[in-house]
Amino acid sequence: MRSPTEKQLGLIRNMEQYISARFTGNTIREASEFITNHMDEYQEEKEMADESKVLYDDVYYEESW
């Protein structure tokens, strides 16, 4: 069995920063399944985090005046 690609592992590392699931597989197929199964949650969590960062930056900027 082939190991996950570096591109897959990089995406999985990013995904794990936003979701509670952890990748424990060893093959390219398991990596692909993990990405497919968790992509929607990752995108939602990342979008919410990005929005909250913008809101925080706006508040911080206004308070510094």
pLDDT digits (tens, 9 = 90+) for 45-61: 999 888 877 666 655 55
When divided into structural domains, the chain yields a total of 1
pTM of the model: 0.78
> Do residues 27 and 3 lie in contact, with contact meaning Cβ atoms separated by under 8 Å?
yes
For 8, the 3-state DSSP assignment is helix
> Do residues 20 and 34 lie in contact, with contact meaning Cβ atoms separated by under 8 Å?
no
Spatial separation of the C-alpha atoms in residues 2 and 33, rounded to whole Å: 14
Which residues constitute the domain of residue 47?
6-63
Chain centroid offset of residue 18 CA: 5
Percent of the chain at pLDDT exceeding 70 = 82
Evaluate whether residue 52 is within a structural domain. yes
Evaluate whether residue 59 is within a structural domain. yes
